Structure 1
Amino acid sequence: MNFQGSRRRGADGIAMVIDFLLSNARLILGVGGAAMLGIATLAVKRLIERAGRAADDEKVEQKMAELSLVSASPTLIKKGIKADLCQQPQMSSLESKPESKSKRLQLCVLSLQERLQQYYHTRAALTPNEVQRAQSQALDICTEIQGFLRSRLPDMPLGEMSLGGSLLDDLQVVSADHACLLVPLQLEASLWRLIPGEETLLTHPLHWMVRRVNLEYFPRGLSYWDRYLVGGYLSAEAVVNMFSKAVMETINWPSISSTLDCLVRPVLGGPDLKVEIRPGNEWAESSDQSLFISMLPLLREGDVVLTAQPELTSPWVNAWHLSLYPWETQRLTQLDTADDGHRRHTLKILKAVCRLNPALRPLQAAPLANLILHLSDSESDWSESSLHVRFQQCITELIGYLEQEALHSYFKPAVNLLSGLSEDQVDQMGFMLYCAVSEPEILLI
């Protein structure tokens, strides 16, 4: 009777029961209770697996003992030549198992610090060629759009277009698949005033408004942008709709595709202005990854950057989004420059972990950047040698923020960066991170 097989089936049955209880425990116990039950369950599963492996090891030892007894008798060797030849493939398979086992052991002996560095170089960081190729494609599109607008709408007061975002700031991870095309609008300082969100009826720190002023002295129509006024304010939604018709629906994209030797087409139907680039003949063999370029109309006044993003300010048609990304990126760079730290390095690892893990995917870059900024106020050692310590600390801090369902912006404390997450998403992320407290390597798979 095969007791080993029955023992394995019993272990599998227990594992199935445990998984069933575990999947339903979150509904009853919440994030904290389910996570603690999960950690305990992992320990029980390991005991079961170790017991199974011990039985397998005993069986292999018995076979090896029998083989050693056979090798001690020359007559038995002669009689068993044919049998040995027939069993040679099986013996080679037995010999290959220790080799694969040794490879697994080599991976297991890697420290968390070494695993993080390996993960950064193999999964998170982009190759220079990949970044250069994406930037080159984005610049080509930037040149084409700017040339079209200058010829089609020469009286539109626009600044010099440029690239922006994580691709330009060396903060993009996993793949170079998105970029931002910044389109600065030029407003007359005497005719327009930027009103902070706290001073508007919306009272939202990130929802600013742009008011038309001095109408009694400078009547409507003197400014090019007066045609996009709604209720005395410059409408971000009206500006986006104008660019959608003037650029996305008007440019001859097949002609641009043939010029750039790649497939270029607008992504229509959404609230944002987006162009998709698919590799042509030049890069078809190396990669089939699409590059998405978001066209972003914006206003600048000092260090304030307002963007026209209706998907972030809906349903307010007049609201402009205050972008905190430039402040956060600049602050991280300043801190790393001052102490030769690895905060940006840590941020890229966290971004890659969240992007590649389905349970953590709803967590965007902004909460992670603010997590590191908050942690930098209390922790001064961000050297490369302490990367594993800061990584584990980020996991612990993030669990605390998820339990409170609030992670306040570093520059705008009234803004909760976790407000867009659903309760189910918070539960799934909390459960995964709780399990990673004792086994941080599960996030690096």
Structure 2
Amino acid sequence: MAEFSQNRGKRRDGEALGSAVDFLLANARLVLGVGGAAVLGIATLAVKRLIDRATNPRDEDDAKEDSWKELSLLKATPCLQRRPPPAALSQSVPLRAPSPAAPGGPEDADVREAPQPSSPAPSLCLTFQERLLAFEQNYVTVPVARVALAKQLAGDIALELQAYLRNKFPELPFGPLVPGGPLYDGLQAGATDPVRILVPLVLEPGLWGLVPGVDTVAGDPRCWAVRRAQLEFRARGSSPWDRFLVGGYLSSRALLELLRKALTASVNWPAIGSLLGCLIRPRVASEELLLEVQHDRLELTVAVLLAVTSTLAGEHLLLAWPLEGLAGNLWLQDLYSAEAARLRALDECDAGTRRRLLLLLCGVCHRHPVLRRLGRGHLTQVVLCLGEEEADWAEEALGERFLQALESLIGSLEQASLPCHFNRSVDLLAGLREEEIDDLGFALFRGLQAPELLLAAG
């Protein structure tokens, strides 16, 4: 009974405070004008909700969700957008000792240097811009010698795999295997991305056509279907790829399974690794086709990607990808090459640092236990958007652009939507659960308030 009276008293106090806030808002326009009332309204919104939470306790997860969303409303107010930069950007902050090299085992490793003794921290203090550049040097930049060795190993593995496929499946016309990816485009951030080896399918002209994913039963705008054509004139069996047809369409799932069995059970990786001076093992537990490469000077992850790259696809690069549900037999449109080319073109226009910003975001998120859910695709969209809107991309503005990218990500998470730059119908956050979006938003908001701590995470 006493507890009930206490709760009722809290509710009365809350109602009284709420009434006072409502009265203040009702008369704010007379005292402060329209602009001042708008600012006060948003500010007091958070106060009212704090009162509600005090009188109606809720779960910790609900409180966390509201905290980052409500507080970030203040930054969206037009009158508050021209705020001074965070103290970490313009003032000195104590320098923490650099944390060890990026954590993680072979499952999240790509190009990783052998552990090196950390140098003692200097006694001086650094601004956020200086800390950001130090983070870039310590955790983002890949030494030239490591890049060269990784390219050599990837090229040798591609040649060995190509010889195996031609001997194992002489009836299937695979094209030349092509290594590539961020490492080859200067977009490799420490240990964030695998080297890609494309295994192109050579499809006969006139026997195949493309159907947009939205026009299929899957209704997926990310994908395309590869349809068999001319069946009335060229019956099944006219093409060696006909054995992988499902319902008249070339099945990416069937081809993935074929290559998966070959990589995990047939290829003599110990012999190939011995020839190349390294240890190569397929990652059996992964749905993607990944190879772990261990060399005495680096560790490398290689992604083997079946691709449709002929004139049939035009400008599209279509990948066999482990998709779920009705999209399982479709081909995922890969936009990496288009994104990398657009970033390169924007940077060349003004000698900008957009690609450096992307590398920094990838490095920070990869080292963070929560933010690692944000992949290169998510971060690239943010940088592309900023890259075409902002004018100043000198190195001196890198810290400001970094914080601006965090704000942009928070805004996308608030809306639970991040449209693809090259296909606005594709939402890159569609695959995340609501609780994952809340965790990301909370982590980013805390990082925006103390960015120097975000650099030290991991």
Q: Secondary structure at the match of 1:297?
A: strand
Is contact 2:214–2:220 with CA below 8 Å preserved after alignment?
Answer: yes
Q: 1:121 aligns with which of 108, 126, 137?
A: 137
Summarize the Cα distance change of 1:180–1:441 in structure 2 as closer, same or farther, 3 Å threshold.
same
1:305 aligns with 2:332: no
Partner residue, 1:236: 252
Q: 2:148 aligns with which of 126, 132, 148?
A: 132
Q: What are the equivalent positions in structure 2 for 1:207-222 lying under 5 Å apart? A: 207-222=223-238
Summarize the Cα distance change of 1:34–1:376 in structure 2 as closer, same or farther, 3 Å threshold.
closer
Task: Provide the aligned length of Structure 1 versus Structure 2.
Answer: 350
Is contact 1:248–1:273 with CA below 8 Å preserved after alignment?
Answer: no
Is contact 1:25–1:34 with CA below 8 Å preserved after alignment?
Answer: no
1:429 aligns with 2:440: yes
Counting aligned pairs with the same residue, the percent is 38
- Residue 354 (structure 1) shift: 0.3
Is contact 2:68–2:441 with CA below 8 Å preserved after alignment?
Answer: no
Is contact 1:313–1:319 with CA below 8 Å preserved after alignment?
Answer: no
Task: Give deviations 1:100-119, integer Å, cap 9, x for gaps.
Answer: 9x955x13xx2222121111
1:292 aligns with 2:322: no
Larger Rg: 1
The CA RMSD measured in Å over matched residues stands at: 2.3
Q: What are the equivalent positions in structure 2 for 1:28-427 lying under 5 Å apart? A: 28-33=62-67, 103-104=122-123, 106-107=124-125, 110-175=126-191, 178-279=194-295, 283=296, 286-287=297-298, 289=299, 291-300=300-309, 301-310=313-322, 312-427=323-438
1:363 & 1:422 partners in 2: Cα distance? Answer: 13
1:368 & 1:256 partners in 2: Cα distance? Answer: 36
1:112 & 1:373 partners in 2: Cα distance? Answer: 23
Is contact 1:145–1:247 with CA below 8 Å preserved after alignment?
Answer: no
- Residue 37 (structure 1) shift: 8.3
Is contact 1:36–1:434 with CA below 8 Å preserved after alignment?
Answer: no
Summarize the Cα distance change of 1:190–1:31 in structure 2 as closer, same or farther, 3 Å threshold.
same
Compute the TM-score of the two structures, normalised by the length of structure 2: 0.72
- Residue 270 (structure 1) shift: 3.5
Q: Secondary structure at the match of 2:426?
A: coil
Is contact 1:207–1:313 with CA below 8 Å preserved after alignment?
Answer: no
For structure 1, the 5+ residue unaligned runs are: 1-20, 39-99
- Residue 140 (structure 1) shift: 1.4
Q: Secondary structure at the match of 2:266?
A: coil
Name the amino acid aligned to 1:33. S
For structure 2, the 5+ residue unaligned runs are: 1-53, 73-119
Name the amino acid aligned to 1:430. G
- Residue 438 (structure 1) shift: 3.0
Summarize the Cα distance change of 1:273–1:314 in structure 2 as closer, same or farther, 3 Å threshold.
farther
- Residue 336 (structure 1) shift: 0.7
1:384 & 1:270 partners in 2: Cα distance? Answer: 39
Compute the TM-score of the two structures, normalised by the length of structure 1: 0.74
